[in-house]
Amino acid sequence: MLLNRNNNFDFLRVFAAGMVVFAHSFDLLGLSSHEPLRVLSGHFIDFGALAVNMFFVISGFLITASLFSGKGLLAFLIARVLRIYPALVVAVLFSSLVIGAWFTQYEWLDYIRHQQLSHYIFSNLFFFDKQYILLDLFSQNPMTELNGSLWTIRWECFFYGALLILGLASIDRPAIAKCLCWLFYILMIALCWSRADLTGLKPEPINFTRVAPYFAVGGLLYLHYPLIARLIKHGIIILLVLSAFVFMAKGSILFKPMFTLTLALAVLWLAYSARIKLPKSANGNDYSYGVYLFACPIQQSLVASFTWDFTYAPLVFFICSMCCVLPFALLSWHYIEKPALNLRKPALAWLNVKHRVYS
């Protein structure tokens, strides 16, 4: 059975979050063109983009599994809200009210009262506008976004909402729900790839059309998980063959579909193969979301505070960044994310009681 807890997803998520920090260690110093994977791939992708793609494959697979777990749509909604929002609220408030107040050139009261501050906070909590630059913060840095990583959160929540709607449209009819999800994923892939460059000759864009196919392929692989379970047993051979096809397809419209499928299968193989023994965190601790949320504003603070114009600066910057970010990630998990997730059952029980009282 694929959906057991004896998997490597926690490690893969933390590793991917570290890849994002590594890529940002070049981007935030204005050295994007020197990022190793970007150079090796002919500027098609860097480690940060690869990590985000991995996140969406994992999310598509596991969130689709959660929808069909049999726990009900209310449990699905509660779990998604409690996973995303508590840490997001703290990260947005911390970056804007603490880091922002420290680095702004405005007087403290003028900064707190500024309309753009409240607009930044509400935009990033409720996704009604894209705003990642806040007033004059980091205006002297090579990149000026306070937390550019937040762009993916709105699309993650979009997929949660879309699956919830599909579940509501086919409530108590799992076969129909699976058909609707399958059609939704296929249509989303077709729509995105009809508008995208599929040749791999241009950089991966930072938008919905890039991440949606990865989420969709992850979801489709769950919907066909008996087949995937068999493929995983021969994963290394299949991945070697697919990788060869990806290499040969560079420059053709087959490249992006082959690359997406290969990456998705590689992620699931690493997650579930009995031959792969990756380090596991104690008690299922998942620090990846905290690393992802807090890294960018902390890295921007380091860029603004120190001089980084020396040889091997990105590597030193990466090490310093991880040393600063990991304590925030640990605090976020143990005092925000994990306590919030522990509220799932009480919240579900309370809402069920309210439903019975008022129905």
- Nearest by Cα to 124 from 95, 98, 160: 95
**pLDDT value at residue 3:** 61
pLDDT digits (tens, 9 = 90+) for 21-40: 999 999 999 999 999 999 99
Secondary structure of 241-302 in HEC code, one letter for each residue:
HHHHHHHHHCCCCCHHHHHHHHHHHHHHHHHHCCCCCCCCCHHHCCCHHHHHHHHHHHHHHH
Does any domain span residue 3?
no
**pLDDT value at residue 244:** 94
For the chain, what is the domain count? 1
pLDDT digits (tens, 9 = 90+) for 36-50: 999 999 999 999 999
Residues of the chain with pLDDT under 70: 1-5, 281-283, 353-359
DSSP string, 163-232: HHHHHHHTTT-HHHHHHHHHHHHHHHHHHHHHSS--SS-SPPPSSHHHHHHHHHHHHHHHHTHHHHHHHH
Does any domain span residue 228?
yes
pLDDT digits (tens, 9 = 90+) for 136-154: 999 999 999 999 999 999 9
Mean pLDDT over the full length of the chain = 92
Does any domain span residue 87?
yes
- The pTM of the full predicted model, rounded to 2 decimals, is 0.94
Does any domain span residue 71?
yes
Does any domain span residue 1?
no
Domain that holds residue 18: 9-358
Does any domain span residue 2?
no
Does any domain span residue 4?
no
Phi, psi of 203 (to 5 degrees): -60, 150
Residue with tokens 């998942």: 286
- Nearest by Cα to 56 from 147, 193, 152: 152
Does any domain span residue 211?
yes
DSSP string, 110-156: HHHH-HHHHHHHHHHHH-SS-----TTTTTTSSS--S-GGGHHHHHH
pLDDT digits (tens, 9 = 90+) for 301-311: 999 999 988 88
